[in-house]
Copies of this chain bind each other. A is one copy, B any other.
C-alpha cells in the first residue's frame, strides 16, 4: 500500500514521505493505533535512505500524527476527522451591497478577456522586458546582507524608514515643501486612494474630478458611495469654466486630479492651468488629491511642477505617488505625501487594514532606488516608450480614420471616434482577435460610448501596426459619421 509515492527531486524527500503518510492517515487508509512498518522496512519500500524515514517519523510525531511505544514501534494516533454532516450556506445571499458592487465594477471580470493568439491593447502595465533583473537581485542581496532577517519581521505601519526618507527627498526634488508633511507607504496608488477616502469622506459626500478619469479611482469613489461630478477636458486639462460652475453649484468634500499623462486621455495639464486649478479650488476651499500617475514618464518639454508644489508650507494638496505604473508593479509600492496630522490618521487606518506593506519589498526597492538604478532605468524606459508612442501615434493617424486622438504621451493613446459605438467595434475586433478597453469605463457618467483606450506598452511594433490596421478596417465597416 505504500508503493505509489512519486519522489520529486527538487523537494526535501522526508517532507514528501511525511506528507504522504499524513495523507493516508487523514483519508482513513491507516487507522488509529495501527503499527507503521519499521523504518528499515519503509526505507526499502520507498527506496530511500533509512535516515529519511527516521526523520519523517520524527516529524509525524511532532505534528501528533503518530506516537511511539518504546521498544514496540511507531503507531498511528487517534486523529480521524469526524465529519459532522454537510452544512451549506448560500453565500450569494450573504454578500452585502459593497461586495456586490465591487464585483459589478470589477472590469477584469466583465470585460473581454485575452485569449491565446490575440493582440491586446488593454494593458498599460510596463513592459517587464525593460526591467533589469540583475540590478534588482543585487539590491535584494545587498539589503539582505545589511539588514538580514530583520526585514522579514514586522515593520512599521507608516513604512520602511529609509524609503520614507528617500521619497521625502524625492518629492522635495519636485519642488514640494515637505515641512510639516509626512509620507505613508501604501500598496500602490489603489490602496492610497482608498485609505484617503476611507478616512475623510462619508457616503453621499460630493467629489469632483476630470471626466473621463482613471477607472480604478471611479470604482473606489463609487464604492465609497460618493456623488461624483466629472469635469470635461480640453487639450491642456479640465475646462476651467465648467469647473468653476460646478464649484459654485455644490459644496465638494474633496477633488481628484491626474495632471500628468492623465489616464485615459494622456493629456498633460499645462503649468498655467495647474496654477488656475489650484487657485480656484483654494478659493472654494476644496482640498486636492493629486495622482502622480506616470509623472516620471514625460517624453518632451520642460519640467512641470506637480500641483503639490504650489502650496508651499500649506497642506491642502495630498499627493499619491507610485512608480509601479512604470517599474515593478508586482511589488505594489506607492506612497501618500500629505499633512502630518492626516498621515497620522491614515497610518492607523492602514494598520487596521493590513498592518503594513511588505518590509522586504520596501527595503529592496529602497536599495534599488538609492543606488541610482531608477534613474538609469527611467532613461531607458522613456526612450523605448517614446519611440513606441510615436510609432503608435503614426499608425493611428494612418490607419484609424474618423477620429480624434488625445494626449501627449504615456503608455497608451485615447481615441474618440465619431458616432461609432466602441463596444460594437470591440465585438467586431474581438472576432478578428484584437481587444482594447472601451472608453466608457473611464467616464463617471454615460458619456464616452464612442471612445477607446489603446495601450501599447507590452506590444511590439508589428503587433501595434497590425492591430491598428484591423481596428481601422472595422471602423470603416461600421461607417459612422464622416466629416
Contact = CB atoms under 8 A, between A and B. Distances in A.
Interface string A207-239: 000000000100110010000000000000000
Contact of A81 (B175, B314, B349, B354): B175
A91 interface: yes
Given A62-B379, A84-B278, A152-B136, A354 B188 contact: yes
Interface of A is mostly: helix
A87 interface: yes
Contact of A149 (B100, B129, B202, B301): B129
Contact of A302 (B15, B64, B125, B310): B64
Given A105-B352, A128-B153, A303-B65, A315 B88 contact: yes
Contact of A358 (B12, B198, B331, B375): B331
B376 A12 contact: yes
A92 interface: yes
Interface residues of A, number: 136
A91 B347 CA distance: 14
A81 B309 contact: yes
A309 to B, nearest CB: 5
Given A82-B275, A345-B99, A148 B133 contact: yes
Nearest to A187: B354
Contact of A372 (B12, B79, B329): B12
Contact of A313 (B86, B174, B186): B86
A298 B64 contact: yes
A108 interface: yes
A355 B99 contact: no
A60 to B, nearest CB: 9
30 contacts: A12-B372, A12-B375, A14-B372, A19-B173, A23-B173, A26-B172, A26-B173, A58-B379, A62-B382, A65-B303, A82-B305, A83-B312, A87-B282, A87-B311, A89-B287, A95-B342, A99-B198, A99-B199, A100-B345, A105-B348, A106-B352, A125-B153, A125-B154, A128-B152, A128-B153, A152-B328, A152-B331, A154-B329, A353-B353, A360-B361
